[in-house]
Chains A and B, each alone.
Chain A
Amino acid sequence: MLNNMKKSKKDLLLQYTGLTILAVIILIPFLIGFWTSFLPTEEISKGILWSNHISLNNYITAFTQTPIIRYLFNSFIISFLTMIAQILFCSTSAYAFVFLKFKGRDLLFYAFLATMMLPFEAEVIPNFATVRSLNLLNHYSVMIIPFLASAFGTFMLRQAFLQIPGELKEASDIEGLSHWKFYAKIVLPYSRISLYTLAAYSFLTSWNQYLWPMLTTFSDNFRPVQDGLRQLQSQESFNNWGMIQASAAIVVIPTLIVLFFGQHFFKNGLNEGALK
């Protein structure tokens, strides 16, 4: 017994050492990036990391001399609308795949899923041709419309809706709830954790988009933040690395906020007590 415990303690120590090393390796680039965002560019270019000229100057430059606020605003509009649309369309389609009975429902669902297997890169060219003929280039809509629904979101919510006990549907039928009412009053609140998860996921996916906005936007008026960052680099004759680092740090902040507030909702057990 004692031997066993000793051994497991040793194992634990080994595991934690391994995990700590990996965590450090992963975190170092972020920490260096964050640290350099406080340093003057001249020292960064000279390779001096341990400087004592720490200031918020880079952040001030980023906000005053670059259109980063506009980029942030653009990204927020795009991500927010994409998120709302995905929640709406994924939940309604998932509802149909779970609670409506119609011929060929499962076949349709698998066809739906199959679209998930196609990598986005493969869709870029046909999608680009489509949005160009629709005259949508260089506008918010070009970054929202192709992402109004997602097969992944539908799949995820379908799995969540399948967890809803059949008796809740039966109890609602007895009270005469219509499909819309059952959807709004029972299904959505019951699956709220999955909805929060999908919301966070779709917001961040949209926020971090790079390839598609790069192809379809040409002006700072509509350019989202990830492409804006790239823009900062080439606009200047010399690269103001301190300022670029500061901008990168600003861009990451919303991601951290979403994850920080999100984790509160990703707790288990909120639905306990429906049955038995």
Chain B
Amino acid sequence: MSIELKNIAKTYDNNSWILKGINTRIKTGEFFAIVGPSGCGKSTLLRMIAGLIPISSGDLQIDNHSVTNLPPCDRNLTMVFQDYALFPFLDVEANVGFGLKARKMDVVKIEERVANALALVDLTAVKKRKPRELSGGQRQRVALARAIASDAKICLMDEPLSNLDAQLRGKMRSEIRELQQRLGLTLIYVTHDQIEAMTMADRIMVLNEQQVQQVGSPAEIYQYPANSFVATFFGTPRMNLLKAHCTQIHNHSLVIDPQLSFPTPFDLPAGDYFIGIRPQSFTIVAQISKANATIKNIEYLGTEFIVYVELDNGAKIRIAAAKQSSLSLNERILVKTPEDFLIFDHAGRAISSMKGTQKNGRTTKQAVQTAQ
């Protein structure tokens, strides 16, 4: 079951847009994550796909048939809700079979499907219990089982793991992914958690400020973010953004200070730019005479250290260091120019990315000039 979104938009008052110009095609059997900060409209988009709220303009197609004006039950999909939406007065079995019963499926068939679904999520032992007698993780599984039991091949999930503790969330992530593969579901998964999106999805749609920022595979989004929002949204700790000014004289490189300058793949017009550097890309040299920064704080995370550094020009950056060596607070250090970095224009649009010795011009010079 493929899903196509054509120029979907949502407004409540015909004046301000909640979402605008959403275009994408979700392939059959794809795990598609919609991610963005809270209030970006990702849940609204999911509910429009489900048919729970009307689409203001644009067209939604499932398997090349327009479903824009069909009620939710005729779109042949299931949904797993953030708070699970279990019926407290029904036992686990009845909760899972609820949709099938509402669709008037044969009783024997319902029993079989419910039993299968419960076995898949390992809940057969508690099938006679009420939701209040289950733990949070078990309730979550009941909600999953309800989606599994349905014969719909499209499943929508609205932040299904956000109420679970970190450990359980990690476990459920792989379980959901595995189920999706095994059942061949086309899954649309809404989350605000970039790690969830990165680890589970085949493709990710990043939403912010009513618009699609980027659609791509996790690797594409991480390595070649379309703009500074996407770049800083993915990855922990967050990517550093350094402001740089390009004058006519130095247009082959962006200079932060004498020790920290970034070569550009092509001559940039004069103007303001942002250089995006992942905390992992920086290297620190300690005990050196030509230092350009001071250590302000050091956080120990077990596998790595996050070193908070203030450059001499006042910019604050985060650096992930594998071993602390002998760094100490207020120590003067040299922050060296990393090999990997991204360049964004003044509006945050990606211009180029440098990956080691390999150079990737992401946009042409003309595009940069028109963007100016």
Contacts and interface: CB of A to CB of B under 8 A. Distances in A.
A107 interface: no
A170 to B, nearest CB: 5
Contacts of A170: 47, 50, 52, 79, 81, 85
Contacts of B86: 273-275
A269 B78 contact: no
Contact of B73 (A175, A192, A270): A175
B87 A274 contact: yes
Interface in A161-188: 165, 167-168, 170-177, 181, 186
A190 B78 CA distance: 22
A30 B357 CA distance: 96
Nearest to B88: A274
A173 B132 contact: no
Interface in A233-250: none
Given A174-B79, A176-B71, A190-B89, A273 B139 contact: yes
A189 interface: yes
A269 B103 CA distance: 30
Contacts of B132: 269, 271-273
Contact of B52 (A165, A174, A186): A174
A276 B84 contact: yes
Contact of B83 (A165, A190, A270, A272): A165
Interface residues of B, number: 32
Given A175-B103, A176-B74, A168 B139 contact: no
B163 interface: yes
Contacts of A176: 71-74, 102-103
Given A173-B73, A176-B103, A273-B130, A167 B85 contact: yes
Contacts of B89: 189-190, 192, 270-271
Interface in A34-67: none
B136 A167 contact: no
Given A174-B50, A272-B132, A273-B139, A167 B88 contact: no
A30 B98 CA distance: 51
B77 interface: yes
Contacts of A173: 51-52, 71-73
Nearest to B53: A170
A174 B86 CA distance: 14
A189 B231 CA distance: 49
Contact of B72 (A174, A189, A275): A174
Interface string B38-82: 000000000100111000000000000000000111100111011
B88 A272 contact: yes
A175 B50 CA distance: 11
B83 A276 contact: yes
A170 B99 CA distance: 12
B52 A175 contact: no
B134 A174 contact: no
Contacts of B225: none
Contacts of A189: 87, 89
Nearest to B71: A176
B133 A273 contact: yes
Contacts of B73: 173-176
A190 B50 CA distance: 24
B139 A175 contact: no
A265 B85 CA distance: 24
Contacts of A274: 83-88, 131
A240 B134 CA distance: 61
B85 A165 contact: yes
Contacts of B82: 167
A273 B131 contact: yes
Interface in A130-186: 165, 167-168, 170-177, 181, 186
Given A171-B81, A174-B99, A276 B87 contact: no
A6 B77 CA distance: 64
A174 B81 CA distance: 12
Contact of B85 (A171, A181, A192): A171
Interface string A88-107: 00000000000000000000
Interface string B110-133: 000000000000000000001111
Contact of B136 (A168, A172, A276): A276
Nearest to B140: A276
Contacts of B133: 273
A246 to B, nearest CB: 43
Given A173-B72, A273-B132, 15 more contacts: A167-B81, A168-B87, A174-B50, A175-B73, A175-B103, A189-B89, A190-B87, A190-B89, A270-B88, A271-B132, A272-B132, A273-B134, A274-B87, A274-B131, A275-B86
26 contacts: A167-B82, A170-B52, A173-B52, A173-B71, A174-B51, A174-B79, A175-B73, A175-B99, A175-B103, A176-B71, A176-B102, A176-B103, A181-B102, A189-B87, A190-B89, A272-B132, A273-B86, A273-B132, A273-B133, A273-B134, A274-B84, A274-B86, A274-B131, A275-B84, A275-B85, A276-B83
